[in-house]
Amino acid sequence: MSAPWVDLDPTLVVVAAGTTTVGAVSGALGCFAYLRRQGLVGDVVSHSALLGVVGAFVLVHAITGSASRSLFILVPGALVAGTAALMLARSVSIRTRLNDDASLGVMLSIFFGGGLFLLRWVQRQSPPIAGHTGLEDYIFGMAAAMTRADLWMIFALGGGALVVLFLMWKELKVFTFDPDFARSQGLPSRLLDTLLMGLLVAGVVIGIQTVGVILMIALLVTPAAAARQWTSSLSTMALLAAAFGAVAGAGGALLSASAASLPTGPVVVLLATTIFLLSLLLAPRRGVIARARARRVLRDVPPRAAGGAS
Amino acid sequence: MIQGSDLNFRADQPALDVEGLTVTYGKEPALWNADLRLDRGSLAAVVGPNGAGKSTLLKAALGVVPRVSGRVRVLGEDPARRRRLVAYVPQRTSVDWDFPTSVLDVVLMGTYGQLGWFRRPGRKERALALHSLEQMEMADLAGRQIAELSGGQQQRVFLARALVQDAEVYFMDEPFAGVDAVTEQSIASLMGHLAHRGKTILSVHHDLATVPRYFEHAVLLNRAVQAVGTIKEVFHRGNLDRLYGGRVPAGVPDLAPS
Ligand SMILES: Nc1ncnc2c1ncn2[C@@H]1O[C@H](COP(=O)(O)OP(=O)(O)OP(=O)(O)O)[C@@H](O)[C@H]1O
Ligand SMILES: [Mg+2]
């Protein structure tokens, strides 16, 4: 009798380890995006990453003549594109009358549109660029393409982000809760803001291979929103969100490996959404059921004898 | 986070010295050429209409908003070098009270400045925070999630966080907003105690009727500082009508003849 994991396909081990890490990291980082109401920022970063990924592919192909879809090339592209989109959005909202959300929306459309356009251009080249197939998987995610090297990239970036989060915990916490007070204590708000953005960008770019640029935002925000239902402590929330993200990531990898036609990204996101919905229903204090029960208890209290006019 | 913070100050230095301070957010200046000087031990109310720049004045004195021109000195130094000697009670509505954290945790934030980067609050900080909560009669709510506090309790939490900072100068933004009469009394007596111990308090206050009861000094502010001084000197109907554009309701005690 052999333990089941001995029979596991080594590729599947890589993929599952990758998606689990991606889920855990984006769960933890997503808590800050969620509490700072920066879901849209995360969405802009991930959509823009498509342009960065395809752009990096094209650039490397033009320079070296070789076509590579290694994360070591595509992730820096995504980092650059995501950061550029955020910086452009910021300068647009400072220089024009567009508000923050509108300028973020504009950048999302420009960068995502640009990414789709460039992707189509790459696909139409003749003679075809060898190795371009698979780029389109970044739209909806394709965890099966993950290599061992990709996994190291995910470990490095994701682990680094978590270490920073851990070291700067109390600074990031007070800055998120009460930025003016944090500033009055001498905390550099520009630096912390940039740091949180940087963490968000790192979380997004390691996830897009698995989940795809369109659904990545769900993997950031949904575990955090689910975790918020269960706890009122930020550290517990981050740990729970990481656990929810990891479960969704691992489950997505295993499910899509067992049924060939299931795409990993959407499965991961559906699992995270299921966890969220269950939390919304079942959580003790905040959950829908608990609140309905609390209301019923109040209703059942017999009215006072002198109820007043009605 | 306290690098460059200087704990030494001369006793004769003014707690707050503001000269020609101008602050703008967009085009219009929120503060225009404001001058203000407060001695140590002052218990001062900042009074003025909505949008007069009261919160902005506090934030500029804290070095939280950049100033366009002018000079701010806290105990003789730039605010950036006085972080450890200054406590801040922000406007209660400026934060999201649904943030996942407990009462004790928020009060502990008042110790972060002394802890510096990376270090976590420990037993000593917890004891200090609990002590501050006791002073605000909130010790039994230490473990409560902040989402489950009333407005007055939120205000007490913010004050406890300021107390734990053990500062020399306290900047408070509307500490009386939305609290009941009992809490109002305890906040007022807390301020009195602090001032009695030589601490300086500059507090935004909207209720003109209680200014003379709770404060010894008043800063009348509308973009620029219109008057600063003891209540007797500056807090009279003539000044107030000018400050609010002649719309001050009756019931405000007329302490001094105008
Ligand atoms: N972050 C900001 N961005 C842009 N404008 C701002 C900002 N904060 C304040 N202002 C503007 O600056 C002016 C002064 O604001 P401030 O908050 O200092 O007024 P205040 O006297 O505290 O008012 P209130 O009594 O309503 O609290 C107002 O016109 C306000 O619209
Ligand atoms: Mg204000």
State the 10-residue block means of pLDDT for chain A, 310 residues long.
59 90 95 92 93 92 84 88 92 87 94 95 84 83 84 93 94 94 90 91 89 92 95 94 96 84 87 95 83 79 54
Q: Which residue from B88, B95, B106 is facing A184, i.e. has the nearest CB?
A: B88
Q: Which of B73, B72, B77, B12 is nearest to B41 (CA)?
A: B12
Sequence spans of domains, chain A = 10-309
- pLDDT band, residue B247 (cuts 50/70/90): low
Ligand nearest B173 Cα, by number? 2
Chain A nearest C-alpha distance from B203 (Å): 16
Residue B252, pLDDT score: 63
Alpha carbon A253 to its chain centroid, in Å, reads 16
Between CA B133 and CA B142 the distance in angstroms is 7
Backbone angles phi, psi at A109, to 5 degrees: -65, -45
Report chain A's C-alpha Rg in angstroms: 22
Ligand 1 within 6 A of CB of B82: no
Ligand 1 within 6 A of CB of B50: yes
Between CA B67 and CA B215 the distance in angstroms is 28
Residue whose token pair is 């601490």: B199
Give the residue whose CA is nearest to atom 10 of ligand 1.
B25
Between CA A27 and CA A37 the distance in angstroms is 15
pTM: 0.87
Give the residue whose CA is nearest to atom 14 of ligand 1.
B53
Is B113 within 8 Å of B63 (Cβ atoms)? no
Residue B251, pLDDT score: 58
Q: Are strands B217-222 and B43-47 parallel, antiparallel or unpaired?
A: parallel
Residue A302, pLDDT score: 65
Q: Tell me the average pLDDT of chain B.
A: 86
Between CA A41 and CA B174 the distance in angstroms is 33
Ligand 1 within 6 A of CB of B65: no
Q: Which of A96, A3, A22 is nearest to A247 (CA)?
A: A22
Q: Which of B256, B224, B216, B215 is nearest to B243 (CA)?
A: B224
CATH classification of A10-309 is 1.10.3470.10, yes or no? yes
Tokens of B66: 């950049």
Q: Which residues of A touch B64 (CB under 8 A)?
A: 180, 183-184
Between CA B50 and CA B204 the distance in angstroms is 11
Between CA B247 and CA A124 the distance in angstroms is 72
Residue B2, pLDDT score: 45
B115–A185 C-beta distance less than 8 A = no
